[in-house]
Structure 1
Amino acid sequence: MIVVHHLNNSRSQRILWLLEELGLPYEIKKYQRDPDTMLAPAALRAIHPLGKSPVITDGDITVAESGAIIEYLLETYQDSSTVRLQPPAGSAERRRYTYMLHFAEGSAMSPLLMKLVFDRIETSPMPFFVKPVAKAISQKVKTSFVLPNLKAHLDFLEAELHKSTWFAGEAFSAADIQISFVLEASASRGGLDGRYPKLSDFLQRIHARPAYRRALERGGEYAYAK
C-alpha cells in the first residue's frame, strides 16, 4: 500500500491529487507544522533523513521530492490505470512536460521561498536599532532580485498557456499537478493577480477537478486552495 507522509499546507497536497487522478488506493499519515517555526516535525526524519514532505513509502521503498515521486508513481502504476498523465515519449509535448516538471521546483520555487524568508525578516521581533537596517536590506533584495524574478516566471507561465490549454499541450498531465503549488503560492504571496488571466483561469480549472476536491477532503488543511 502506498503511504503518503503528508504535511499540512505543503507540496505533498499535489501527491494526494495525483493519486486521486490515477484512482490508486493509498493511505495518509498526517503531520503538523510547528506553529512557531512553521517547520515540519522531527518525526518526519524517521521516514527520510531530511525530515521534509512530501515523502511516500510503498512497501520497503521510500521516495522523496515531488518530481521524483510523480515519476515513480507514473512509471510504477500508470499502466494499471485508465488515466494517462504523461505525453507520449519522444513527442514535443513530452519534452515540454519534462521541462515543466523540473522547472516547478528547479527555478520557479526559489524566488517564492526567498520572498517568504525576507517578508518574515521584516516582521520578526528584533532590537529597535537593528530593525531599520534589516528592513532596508530585505526590501533591497526583494526589489532588485526577488520580485523581478517572480514577475519573469509568471510572465513566462502566462505565455505558455497562450500556446495550449495545459502546460504540456492540449491534454491535462502531471506537469499541471506539479506546477500547481507554484501558482497557488504565487496567488497567495507572489503577485499572481488579475494581470495574469490565463494563470487565474488555470487555478479555477484545477480547483474544480473532482480529483482535486477529493484530495482536499482527504488531506485536510490547505490554505492555498482559494
Structure 2
Amino acid sequence: MITVHHLNDSRSQRVLWLLEELGAPYEVKRYQRDARTRLAPPELRAIHPLGKSPVLDDGDARLAETGAIIEYLLETHPASGLRPAAGTEAARRFTYWLHYAEGSAMTPLLLKLIFTVLPDRVPFLARGVAKGISKAMNANMIDPQLTAHTAYWEAELTRSAWFAGDAFSAADIMMSFPVEAAGSRVGYGADKPRLKAFLETIHARPAYQRALERGGPYSYA
C-alpha cells in the first residue's frame, strides 16, 4: 500500500491528486504546519532528513520531491494516459513543464513568500527597516519576475488547452501549484483569462475534489 506523508497547504497536494487520477489505493498520513511560523512539524524529520513533504512510501521504496514521485507513479502505472508518447512534441513539452514547475517557477514564488513575512519575523525595532527592504525587493525584483512568469504561462495556454498539449497530463498536475500560488499571491486580472480558466477547470475535476477530501483543508483551492 502506498503511503503519502502529506503536509497541509503544500505541494504534496499534487501527489494526492495524481493518485486519485490514477485510481490507485493509498493512505495519507497528515502533518500540520506550525500555526505561527508556518513551518513543517519536527515529526517529518523522522521521515526525511530535511523534514519536507511530500514523501511517498511504496513497499521498500521511499521517495521525496514531487517531480520524482510523479515520475515514479507514472512509471508504475504505465497505462495511465497521463504522460504523452515518447518522442513526440507533447512529450518534450511534458518533460519541460515537469521540471520547470519546481525549478524556474518556484524561485520567485518562494522569494515572494519570504519577503512578505520577513517584517513579522524580525525583532520589533528592526521592522521598519525590514518593511522597507521587503517593499523594495518586491517592487524591483520579485514582482517583475512573477509578472513575466505568469504572462509566459498565459501565452503558453494559448498554444493548447493544457501545458503539454491538447490532452490533460501530469504536467498540468505539476503546474497546478505554481499557478495556484501565483494566483493567491499576485492575482489574475482580466489579462489572464486562460490561467483563470485553467484553475476553474482543474478544481472542478472529480479527482481533484477527492484529493481535497483526503488531504484536508487547502488554502489555494
TM category (shorter chain) comes to over 0.9
In the alignment, structure 1 residue 194 sits paired with structure 2 residue 164: no
Match of 2:136 among 126, 137, 140: 140
Following superposition, the deviation at residue 125 of structure 1 comes to 5.9
Aligned residue identity for 2:10:
S
Aligned match of 1:6:
6
Aligned match of 1:207:
203
Match of 1:114 among 91, 111, 116: 111
Separation in 1 of the partners of 2:167 and 2:96? Answer: 16
Aligned match of 2:148:
152
Aligned residue identity for 1:120:
V
Task: Kindly report structure 1 stretches of 4+ aligned residues shifted beyond 6 Å.
Answer: none
Separation in 2 of the partners of 1:85 and 1:181? Answer: 17
Aligned match of 1:74:
74
Aligned residue identity for 1:183:
V
1:161 partner SS: helix
Q: 1:193 to 1:55 in 2, by over 3 A?
A: farther
Q: 1:183 to 1:76 in 2, by over 3 A?
A: same
Q: Is the 1:97–1:167 contact (alpha carbons within 8 Å) kept by the matching residues of 2?
A: yes
2:176 partner SS: helix
> TM-score, normalising length from structure 1?
0.94
Q: Structure 2: where are the runs of 5+ without partners?
A: none
Aligned residue identity for 1:153:
H
Aligned match of 2:44:
44
Aligned match of 2:91:
94
Separation in 2 of the partners of 1:57 and 1:190? Answer: 35
Residue-by-residue CA offset, 1:43-76 (whole Å, 9 max, x unaligned): 1111111110011000111000010000010011
Q: Is the 1:112–1:190 contact (alpha carbons within 8 Å) kept by the matching residues of 2?
A: no
Aligned match of 1:30:
30
Following superposition, the deviation at residue 37 of structure 1 comes to 1.2
Following superposition, the deviation at residue 124 of structure 1 comes to 4.2
Q: Is the 1:187–1:193 contact (alpha carbons within 8 Å) kept by the matching residues of 2?
A: no
> TM-score, normalising length from structure 2?
0.96
Following superposition, the deviation at residue 133 of structure 1 comes to 1.7
Aligned runs of 1:161-180 on 2, under 5 Å?
161-180=157-176
Query: How high is the sequence identity, in percent, across the aligned residues?
Result: 61
Q: How large is the RMSD of aligned CA atoms in angstroms?
A: 1.2
2:158 partner SS: coil
Q: Is the 2:122–2:130 contact (alpha carbons within 8 Å) kept by the matching residues of 1?
A: no
Separation in 2 of the partners of 1:113 and 1:192? Answer: 18
Aligned match of 1:219:
215
Following superposition, the deviation at residue 155 of structure 1 comes to 0.4
Following superposition, the deviation at residue 36 of structure 1 comes to 1.6
